[in-house]
Every structure is written in C-alpha cells, then in structure tokens.
Amino acid sequence: MNLEKYYNLEGSKLSFSRQQASDFAKSVAGDFNPIHDTESKRFCVPGDLLFSVIIQHYGLRQTMGFSFSGMVSDDVTLILPEVNAREISVYDDHDKKYLDVSTNGTHSQNSGLIESLSRNYVEFSGHTFPHVLVPLMKQNNIMINTDRPLVIYDHMRISLDTLDIDSVDLELSESIFRLYGKRGDVALNYDLRCNGEAIGKGQKKMVLSGLREFDQTRIDELVETYNARKNRYLNGG
C-alpha cells in the first residue's frame, strides 16, 4: 500500500496535504465522499487514514478503539506522543484534541499483518455508500441532506483473538441505524477472519446529520452523481 506517501511525519509532527488525503480516500479506501475532495470547503482527512497511520506508527494490539473528536484538515499539525501506553490521546500543536486511542492485549509490529488489516479494513468504506447506507435510510424512512451530504466517523474498534497471523479479511455481519432527531448513527459490525476462520470482530460507527424524510428521487440523483464521480476518477477523468 505504501502508506508513507499519504502523510508527512517530521519527528512527532503529523500532517496531511489535501492531495495526499484525497488520493488515499479514492485509491485505497474507495471512498468518494465529497468532503475528501481537494476543493471541498468542508475538507477533512479520512478517519481511515488516521487509523492506518496510528497502527503503523504504534503497532497493533489485540483490542483497539479509536474515538474521533475533531475533523482534521490540511492546515492541522497533529503531535504523536512518544509514549508506551495503552491509552493515547492525539492533539494538534494548539492543544486541541482530535483522537483518543485505547488498547489492550498483546502487541505486534508485524508489518504484513498491519498492512493486511489496514487495507482490508479501509476498503470497506468504498461499500458503505450506497450499498449499505441507502437501504438503511430507506428502511428507516430518513435520508441525509443530498445537497450537503455529511457522513463522518465517530469511532472504530477492532478485537482480535490472536496476533499470531499474517493476514486479516473482513466480512460485514450487521448494520444498525439509530435516530436522534435530525441526527443519527450507523454501526457497521464486521467479522474478522484469517483463512476463512473467525479470529475477531470489528466495528465502524458513523454519524449522519441533517436528516430528513426519505425521498427516493433525491437519493437516486445522489447515487447517480456519486457513481459518476467514482467512474470519472477510475477512468482517469
């Protein structure tokens, strides 16, 4: 995956250009959320990229939780603390917190395992919209604001029975939607597998805002626009 080309690290200072973050979202995660476009006024670095950088930098533990508390833009410089602790908080150089990482269990720096987990975990983002979110929204008769769609990560979690493996595959096991007025969240639960054997579980939880009554026509237009943007990118347009 050559993750290093998608971020800049000088000592403990971590940053991302718009192009780096956008390229990761599209070429690695298959995520064409407009907030990852270089020209977006609401641009933010993909949570999947932060997840991947953290486990590459600190290594992998059997249980890891990632809680996001801020949207990282290209003008943000994060400070990665030089700690050997099970709880890590990541702030920027103005002391604003963006991420909490909790860990437990044995530790591994197996680069092959870390790359396999990162790649397969983030590739599922490319399937979230429209394949998972649209049926969930239709089922619950709600939808995001199609003029200003905003779907962001709240947290990620992985739990592995063992780290004595070289690869990890993911299989979506359950999708849960919860509504809170004009906001809601979607929890995507995964089975983690190695050579077909279940070896753990994972979850991605996303926050949806600006919710309103489901409109099939508007959703169809949003999906058509999303797929057109994806096809243009894949075809070099």
Domains and CATH numbers, the chain: 3-234 (3.10.129)
Q: Helices then strands (H, E): number in the chain?
A: 6, 12
Q: What is the pLDDT of residue 15?
A: 98
pLDDT in tens, 126-174: 788 899 999 999 999 999 999 888 888 999 999 999 999 999 999 999 9
* Res 125 pLDDT > 90: no
Q: What is the pLDDT of residue 237?
A: 61
Q: What is the pLDDT of residue 151?
A: 86
d(CA 222, CA 130): 9
* Res 111 pLDDT > 90: yes
User: In this prediction, what percent of the chain has a pLDDT beyond 90?
Assistant: 81
Q: Which of 1-5, 94-98, 158-162 has the lowest mean pLDDT?
A: 1-5
Give mean pLDDT, residues 1-20. 95
pLDDT in tens, 62-78: 999 999 998 999 999 99
Q: Is the dihedral of CA 20, 22, 23, 27 positive or negative?
A: positive
| DSSP-assigned beta bridge partners for residue 180 | 183
The structure tokens 């990162």 sit at 118
Mark out the alpha helices in 59-215 (DSSP H runs): 111-123, 125-127, 133-139
Helix orientation angle between 47-58 and 111-123, rounded to the nearest 10 degrees: 170
Cα angle 73-183-42, degrees, rounded to a multiple of 5 = 20
